[in-house]
Each structure stands twice: as structure tokens, then as C-alpha cells.
Structure 1
Amino acid sequence: MDYRRILLPLAGQGGVFVLGAFAWLAFTKGLYASALVCALGAITLATMGLTHNAFSFGRDLLKRSQPGATFTSELSRRRLQVLLDQTPSPLLLQPNNGQLIAVNRAARQLFDVSYALPVAARKALLGEATALGLAHMSGQIKWKGQTFAVHLAEMEEEDALSHLAVLTDISADVRAAEASALRDLLKVLNHELMNALTPVASMSKSALDLLGDDTPESRAQAAKALERVVARTEGLTDFINAYRALTRLPSPVIRPCGLGLWLDVLTESFEAQWADKGVRFELETDGTDLSLLMDEDQMWLGVSNLLNNGAQAALEKADARVRLRLKREGDVMVFEVEDSGKGIPTESADQVFMPFYSTKVTGTGVGLSLARQIVQGHGSALLLVPVQEVRPDPLGGACFRFQVRVG
């Protein structure tokens, strides 16, 4: 309690009263000069008291104006919240305390919360990136049957860094893309099956007709026709097996994997298959003493497919080479698989990832599609890099790039 605000006014009033009493007493005794001095003193004290009261009133008024400023700030905050609540895209905020806050109405309705997401919801949403937070959320997430594109932003607040995620519903686009991909797949399947079955039917009928002649020559021709039927049937079996491998790929089991040993196995496998065919393998890496977050078996299969495709393409030219380059960029390891072949024609660049599409006569068209599916399962994207963007020392053929998180 501020006693000065009480005692000072009382002392002033007491002084005015005493001086006024002395002035009256002096006036009654005929001491007019003394009475005048006491009267002036009383007036001075009274004036000072009024000034102090005015100052106090102004200070109190100023203090009272502060709640008004707070009210204005609160009003602005509420207006901003109303605007955010009208935003159709769910907004998630993660301050440095690790919470995951549903910022607007769309986010609260989507995650069925009033403020912050519970731990179970955070784990279900972020998956392997739970401990890392929004900054490491993948480009797409699925929640309650909907697919959302994730756009991230950083905000600095009092020496602390917060992350904001804007979720854009792309379910309709994904369904349209899936329907289009299914139509394309059915076209390819129809084309491949018809290409395989038509000659089988034709050669089988020819063999049957030749066997009806029952001559040594006709039987020999029938035997050759049946050999071709068997060869085509085996090719069709390989095609079906490739299709089954593509459609039955399980979800990856992502865990820390030592890079050095994984690369040793990959290198030995590649050289065992291609070294005697004249394909040189080149490995460039920033270091092998790292751990990557990946399903080592699936990633081995995916990278092996890329290397094998590169080896087949490199054999079309002299001095066949395939290069695997690993370069660390922050918390990810960038993989690049490059070959010294003729490259991929511009008109085929948009089709190379389509299942069963191949620019090679003997290709199944599954390798790149399977590799892309594996890479996508690890939260990345398999990209065909334009030749002019390959650095340094490009081999001149096709180059594919993706990234894996460092564990």
C-alpha cells in the first residue's frame, strides 16, 4: 500500500488549516501583515494540493487507458481468430514446447480437439517424425480417409522457433490421379497380354495343324512352333511375376541402418552381376559412418533396380559406367544413380515411371515403377534429373535422384 498518497494530502490539508487559523488570529489581533503572510501560505499549500490532485488524476486516467489498449489488442486477436476460423484449410502450430495446436476451426474439427492434439494423435499423424516435429513432416499425410498436402512455414517468437503447417485437402485430386493411373495400367496390361497371347494362340493352332499332317517334316515344324509357344509362355509368366512383385510390396519397416555395411553389400551384388559384362561401378559418398532411417531390404531392392536399369542402358555405348553418388544435405542423404548410356528421350520422360513401360526391347517396365514405390514409402520422391542439372562430371545418360533421412 502506498502511504505517501494518503499522508501527503492530509499534511497539505493540515497545513492549510493551521495557516488559515494563524491568519484569522493575526487579523483579529490587528496584525494585518502577519495575517497576510499566513493567508498567502495557506493559498500556496492549497494550490499545490490541487496540482497534486490533478497530477494524480491524470496518472490514474493514463492507467485506466491501459486496459483500453489491452481491450483493443484483444479485439484484434479475436478478429484474427475469426478470420482463421473461416479458412477452410486446417492449420497446425507447433511451438518450441513440442505441443501440436489446432489453430483454426477446420483443424479442431478434423482432429476432434478443442486446442492441442493428444500424444496418440501426434504419433498417428507424424509417424516416425514424432520426435522431430512438424519440420520433418512429409509432403503428404492421410487422416480419416482424406489426403492432405503439407505446406510448412517457420515463425520466430522471442528467440524461439515455431512451425506452422497448412493442410490442403487433395483427396479429389489423388482419386482422379489414381483413376487415371488405373486406366493407364489397364491399357498397358491389355496391350502386354494381347501381345503375349495372340502369337501363342496362332502358333498353337499352327502346331495342331502340322501334327494333323503326321509327316516327319510337319512334326519337326510343330515341335519348333511349340518351342516358341513355351518361350512366349515363360515370358508371360515373368511378366505376371513382375506384376505381383509390384502390387504386393509391403509397407516399409523404417529403422536406423548402418550405411557402410549396406553399401558394401550393394556394391558386391552389383559387381557380381555386371562386372564380367564390362560395366564399371563408381561409388561417391561423403562418408559411410552414418545411419539412415530406412527399410534396408526394400531400399536395397529399389536402388538395385535403378543400378540394373543404368547398367542395361550403359551397355548400349562403349565404356559402360554406372555411378552411385551420396551427398549429405542437412538431415537428409541425397542419392543419385547415373549411367553413361544414351539417356531417356524427352518424349518418354513422363512415362518412364509408368508400370510396365520400357524403352528397352527386353525390359519388363517394372524396375523404375517399383523403385519409385519404395522411395515414396520412405517419404521421398524419385525424380528424373535433367542432364544439364547433373553436377559434377556428368556421365551423359539418365540420372535419378531421391533422398533418405539421416538417423
Structure 2
Amino acid sequence: MVFKRAIPPVVWPLTAQAGVFVLGAFGWLALTRGLYASALVCGLGAITLAWLGLSHSALVLGRDLLKRTQPGAIFTAELSRRRLQVLLDQTPSPLLLQPDNGQLIAVNRAARNLFDVSYALPVAARRALLGDTSGAAPLGLAGMASQIKWKGQTFAVHIAEMEEADHLSHLAVLTDISADVRAAEANALRDLLKVLNHELMNALTPVASMSKSALDLLGDDTPESRAAAVKALERVVARTEGLTDFINAYRALTRLPPPVIRSCGLNLWLEVLCESFAAQWGDKGVRFETDIADSDLSLMMDEDQMWLGVSNLLNNGAQAALEKPDPRVRLRLKRDGEAVLFEIEDSGKGIPAENADQVFMPFYSTKATGTGVGLSLAKQIIAGHGSALVLASPQAHRPDPLGGACFHFQIRIG
């Protein structure tokens, strides 16, 4: 019976070292006696033994090192993976991963709870999120909408690309913005109601005043008073119809409707504008001054929208002028080539330089009771006519300045 025993790892290096020593001694002895061939053989033998010893040591050392480190490396990798999964499960935002096989994988607990799955989303859920995936080229996460709704919640979608060894994966992060969307909708509704209330009050105040004047005139029962009453009622009807059309369009689109620009007589339009301003601000002591070089012109504009825009500028000027004694508002019109330059100026305190860039912002107001829609709406109306509403600088040269704010814009002659 033959017994095979493994040679202990330490024996090979010691044996090799002893053999190298013995062969070296014999080689030196042969060399000193002139036996060069024997010395060469001893030298080659010593080199061979040394190489075998080193090779065996390296092999044993590598094997031992691998045995000691491999289990630890596997354990460390598994520990890192579990830690990452725990962190992902603590993330409140649902995470979806789409590898190259087209599946949608719920990466963390939030995603699994949202879609009621343990790993991959079913086909119905994928179609609801990505569209019809039955075609030859199904949609991926990269084509997902920027916002989605799921189970009554609204999520913002952020897509990230992840490059792997041989393919590209996509990761979707879903952020719950339901509360923000509801707050934005509430703010938009409140702002819309502010605008509608502002415009209704500005338009209905002169209508109510002219209606009362017409009623008083009818009580006189004279041909002159009846004619004046009929004229006042015609103005009331015209303003009411224009306001009704504007409000209906604004309510339907929740924005300013596009202007219907056509040639309008400036003379009659100014007459209605002046009567409306006098009816609203005359009894409050605001003087209305006009400086009109040529009113026998026709302008290319939407008559009702421009009336609202200029009325807003005049009303803002009147409110500002009331802050100082002898309140005045001035409307100046002068021809500038193929256009008419409008200037609306008041005798108020003016607009501070630090507020000059903000006065046209929607719902920004420097007055405690202001809604902040007058100037922004006027700017939008004038922009729709291809012009720009500009706040003149305090240093701008104007004849007989009133000392307050001055706005100007141009309208093309038709």
C-alpha cells in the first residue's frame, strides 16, 4: 500500500535553498581545479533549483491569499448591495428602472407600493405610463411625459441615463407634486378673480354713472334732455356690449383674447373715453386734461381692448394723483410719422426708481388696496397691437410736466 502525503509548503523553499548551496559549493570547487564543464553544470542546476523554489512559494502564497480574501470580498459586495437597497427603500420618491429588455422594474419600496408590485410592472401599467408598447418599437422611459397622474396623485418625472457594459438603461425618479399643483391651481383661480373684479369695477363704475345721468335727464322731459339721455344710454349700451364680449372671451380662455384690429375713428373713441373718466373721477376732484394735436384720424386697433388699456392707465394715474393736492391727469396725443404717440401723465408722487422694473409685473402693486393688474393688463393689450408700453424716465424732457409718472406708447394710423 502506497501512502501519498502532501509536501508541506515550507519544505520546498528549504530544499531548494539547500540544493542551491550544495551545487554552488561543488561548482566553486570544480572551477578552482579547472573543471569548467562540471562548474557550468553545477551552476545551471543551482539556477534551476532556485527558480523552482521561488515558483512554488509564489504559487502557495497566491493560493493562501486567495483563500483568505475571496470570502471577504464576496461578503463586502453583498453588504454594500443590501445597504444600497435599504437606502433606496427609505427614499420617498418612487424609482423605476428600465434595462435593455424593456421591463419596468420598481426599484424601491415607494415604487412597489405605488404600483402594487413586488418587482416588475405588468404590461397594463407599462402601457398606461409609456403608451402602447405592442408595436415594433415600444416607448421607453426616455419618451415618458414630464408629468404623470397615478391613483389621484400628480408626479413630476425626471429621467437619468445609466451606461452599463454593453447597453444603456434609464432610471425614472417620480416626485409627488400634488400639493404644489393644487396650490398653483388655487392661486391661478384667485388671480383670475382679481383680474375680473378689477375690470368689472373699472368698466361698470362709469356705466352706472352715465345710467344715473340718463335717468335724471329723462326726468326733465324736454327735447334737449331726452336727446342727451338717449346719447348717454347709447354710450352705456356700447360699453356694456364691449365689456360683455371681453369678459366672455377672457373667461373662456383664461387669458387676454387676441385683439381684433381694424380702423377706428379716433374722435368718437376719445369722446367716449373722456366721458367715462369724467363720470368716474370728476366728483372726486381729479381734473382731466387733454392735449390732442389731431383727432380727425383713424387708428388700427381693437376699440374695446384699447379702451380698457388706456382706461387702466388713466385710472392708475387718478389714484396716484389723489395722493397730492390738486390732482390732475393728462392725456396727450401727437402724431409721430405713421403713428400716434399716446402719453398718460399724472400729478402724483411718481414711481420710485427701485420699483420701475416691477410695476408691469402681474399682481404687483405699490398701493395697499391695489390689485396689481391695471398696468400689466394695459401692457399686454398694447403689446397685442404691436407696440410697447414704456415708463418714461424722470429726466425725460416734456412740456409742462405734472411731476408724476408718465407712460407712453404708439398706435399705427389706419
Q: TM-score category by the smaller chain? A: 0.3 to 0.5
Query: TM-score normalized by structure 1?
Result: 0.47
Q: State the TM-score, normalized to the length of structure 2.
A: 0.47
